[in-house]
Chain A
């Protein structure tokens, strides 16, 4: 956080963001669909209480909170980055088919005989890469780049196509149908912690690359010729961006499945505080992402107890109104 782009105004934002994040994490640990009350969970947090309470806290709520944080960071940053590169406030991995590409790749690999435990992280990233490249190309097509809603339409079309293809795979192969369904529904409950650890380096690399391209991206926001004039290489920046988005979304999908709207809402909120400068939006998104995801996951446990609501439903409930507000706003902010 100590880089030169962090102006003094960022510090209070990041500090208060981190405080809210801490509260959200605590709520996620203390609240659940089961019988372990907040008081018992609090005691278990300090190592007291029944085996049951300790298990629920350290084996169920703890891991899903951690995975939620990882996925939140990945999707929040991926959304901010996609919006900056496409200069479109509606760009989002879920809406633009990047997550769907990732799911489809996993489904395809499973049908072709891959085992669920080996290939998935890389396959999910490859799928995200293809989806991302497709949609970014679409974004640069004549006339599309400057019309945010049309880009969303292109993305929605790609998403429906990929989801239809995934359904088709489900029909062909009943045996892996159950395994694939796991990847079609976004959730952080009961997911494998070891896979989260497996994607950790990828998210780390992606965030490192992000720090590296934040400044050129800000230059690119001023227009292609200005960026060139400032000595940046727009084509290279775009290529790196696509890679970073694929790494982030692929990792998130590999551990939690597709989760829509988060990449839309997080930068939207972040921009509200920071203005359009990508250098600030990005870092605030990395804090707001986990806050929103963990909060949504906590709600999804409480609303349908003793069952749980799918996380994807929660984020859609959160995100759809924001999308509508943005589209209905008289002047869509062009980035």
Chain B
């Protein structure tokens, strides 16, 4: 409800300022609008920076954005990686706060919603000067948000090999930290190359097949090789498969029949649940005889992973955390 007046005031300002040259007599209206804008905390300065987003060109605040709100886990990750702590962020999927891997750096970040639902009033209350959102933000949401502050929705298709790098670069541009954006993405590439070198040296090429699973009470899910963490696994040298169980364009399969679990039996398995406790997922899975008899389980090559990090997060810091876990896994399997 609180959004409506904001929209109205700002709509008027934009409408009038467009005609300012023609209708000089409306100056007072524009002044009023500027006042309204500044009272909202939105930068009233003439925007010098613009960037292309999914919903067209967006004018960005001049200089360094001060009051950033991220409505996407990948944006929170990218912002913190570039040294900017947002005022507000959305909770990790199925959790009350941000994902645990990023918690230490996200002290004091206020939760303004979940990945599915944004609390608009909470966003307005933070008086942001920049909003970073996910590429899947619906246009109606965008319209509301962009009346609060310039909103950057990356025009990047999901599930591509370089989706997260492209997104990070766009967020870097919005945050006026293009150089840092390059730096953090390159750092991930370097680290991944190191991990890959180790893997290539130790594991023969035909033993690098890996499955990423989520163990749910309804049944196990196979995650798609196109999702963020699977891309990182691939960059680190694993051959990530889905056993033909994931439909095109989906992040994961439907809950599988236990009869089909053998289709996800390879040399490596990374196992998560929706929340951050991978160990618990492994405990639950081990109660199932169908899981226990998999080769990968018999060979002791199942590794519990943090579901928030591996099945919900994205961004350069998440990539680093995933690579760190992969290194741990490699170390633990040293002969």
A residues bordering B, Cβ < 8 Å? 32-36, 52, 55-56, 59-61, 174-175, 177-179, 181-182, 185, 187, 189-190, 192, 301, 304-308, 310
Given A175-B275, A181-B217, A307-B257, CB of A190 within 8 Å of CB of B290: yes
Q: Is B36 engaged at the interface, CB distance under 8 Å to the other chain?
A: no
14 residue pairs of the A-B complex, CB under 8 angstroms, read A32-B257, A34-B260, A178-B217, A178-B273, A178-B284, A181-B216, A185-B218, A187-B218, A190-B219, A190-B288, A192-B287, A301-B257, A307-B255, A308-B254
Q: How far is the CB of A110 from chain B (nearest CB, A)?
A: 12
Q: Is B52 engaged at the interface, CB distance under 8 Å to the other chain?
A: no
Q: Is B321 engaged at the interface, CB distance under 8 Å to the other chain?
A: no
Q: How far is the CB of B308 from chain A (nearest CB, A)?
A: 11
Q: Is the CB of A305 within 8 A of B257?
A: yes
Q: Is the CB of A189 within 8 A of B219?
A: yes
Complex alpha-carbon distance, A304 and B94, angstroms: 26
Complex alpha-carbon distance, A174 and B91, angstroms: 13
Chain B residue at minimum C-beta to C-beta distance from A56:
B259
Chain A residue at minimum C-beta to C-beta distance from B253:
A307
Q: How far is the CB of A228 from chain B (nearest CB, A)?
A: 49
* Residues of B close to A306: CB separation below 8 A: 245, 253, 256-257, 260, 263
Given A60-B290, A178-B275, CB of A307 within 8 Å of CB of B219: yes
Q: Is the CB of A33 within 8 A of B95?
A: no
* Residues of A close to B96: CB separation below 8 A: 174
Q: Is the CB of A34 within 8 A of B275?
A: no
- In the complex, per-residue mask of B262-306: 1 if CB is within 8 Å of any chain A CB, else 0: 110000000001110100100010011110010000000000000
Chain A residue at minimum C-beta to C-beta distance from B94:
A174
Complex alpha-carbon distance, A174 and B114, angstroms: 14
* Residues of B close to A56: CB separation below 8 A: 259
Q: How far is the CB of B150 from chain A (nearest CB, A)?
A: 33
Q: How many A-B residue pairs have CB under 8 A?
A: 75
Given A178-B217, A182-B217, CB of A189 within 8 Å of CB of B262: no
Q: Is B258 engaged at the interface, CB distance under 8 Å to the other chain?
A: yes
* Residues of A close to B94: CB separation below 8 A: 174, 177
Q: Is the CB of A36 within 8 A of B259?
A: yes
Q: Is the CB of B258 within 8 A of A60?
A: yes
Q: What count of chain B residues pass the 8 Å CB interface test?
A: 29
Interface residues of B in 87-130 (CB under 8 A from A): 94-96
* Residues of B close to A178: CB separation below 8 A: 216-217, 273-275, 280, 284
Complex alpha-carbon distance, A277 and B322, angstroms: 65
Complex alpha-carbon distance, A178 and B255, angstroms: 14
* Residues of A close to B289: CB separation below 8 A: 55, 59
Complex alpha-carbon distance, A179 and B287, angstroms: 13
- In the complex, per-residue mask of B207-245: 1 if CB is within 8 Å of any chain A CB, else 0: 000000000111100000000000000000000000001
Q: How far is the CB of A144 from chain B (nearest CB, A)?
A: 36
* Residues of B close to A177: CB separation below 8 A: 94, 275
Interface centre among B96, B216, B217 (most CB of A within 10 A): B217
Q: Is the CB of A310 within 8 A of B275?
A: no
Complex alpha-carbon distance, A52 and B218, angstroms: 22
Q: Of B216, B253, B284, B290, which one neighbours A59 at CB under 8 angstroms?
A: B290
* Residues of A close to B288: CB separation below 8 A: 190
Q: How far is the CB of B207 from chain A (nearest CB, A)?
A: 22
Q: How far is the CB of B219 from chain A (nearest CB, A)?
A: 7
Q: Is the CB of B254 within 8 A of A307?
A: yes
Given A174-B95, A175-B275, CB of A32 within 8 Å of CB of B259: yes
* Residues of A close to B273: CB separation below 8 A: 178
Q: How far is the CB of B322 from chain A (nearest CB, A)?
A: 22
Chain B residue at minimum C-beta to C-beta distance from A309:
B254
Given A59-B289, A177-B275, A307-B253, CB of A189 within 8 Å of CB of B258: yes
Q: Is the CB of A190 within 8 A of B275?
A: no
Q: Is the CB of B218 within 8 A of A181?
A: yes
Q: How far is the CB of A143 from chain B (nearest CB, A)?
A: 41
Complex alpha-carbon distance, A60 and B258, angstroms: 8
Q: Of B258, B274, B277, B293, which one neighbours A190 at CB under 8 angstroms?
A: B258
* Residues of A close to B260: CB separation below 8 A: 33-35, 306
Given A175-B275, A178-B217, CB of A52 within 8 Å of CB of B262: yes
Q: How far is the CB of A40 from chain B (nearest CB, A)?
A: 12
Interface centre among B216, B257, B262, B273 (most CB of A within 10 A): B257
Chain B residue at minimum C-beta to C-beta distance from A184:
B217
* Residues of A close to B263: CB separation below 8 A: 306
Interface centre among A34, A179, A304, A310 (most CB of B within 10 A): A34
Chain B residue at minimum C-beta to C-beta distance from A63:
B289
* Residues of A close to B255: CB separation below 8 A: 307-308
Complex alpha-carbon distance, A33 and B262, angstroms: 12
Interface residues of B in 126-174 (CB under 8 A from A): none
Give me the 3 closest cross-chain CB pairs, A-B, nearest first: A34-B259, A307-B254, A33-B257
Complex alpha-carbon distance, A196 and B293, angstroms: 22
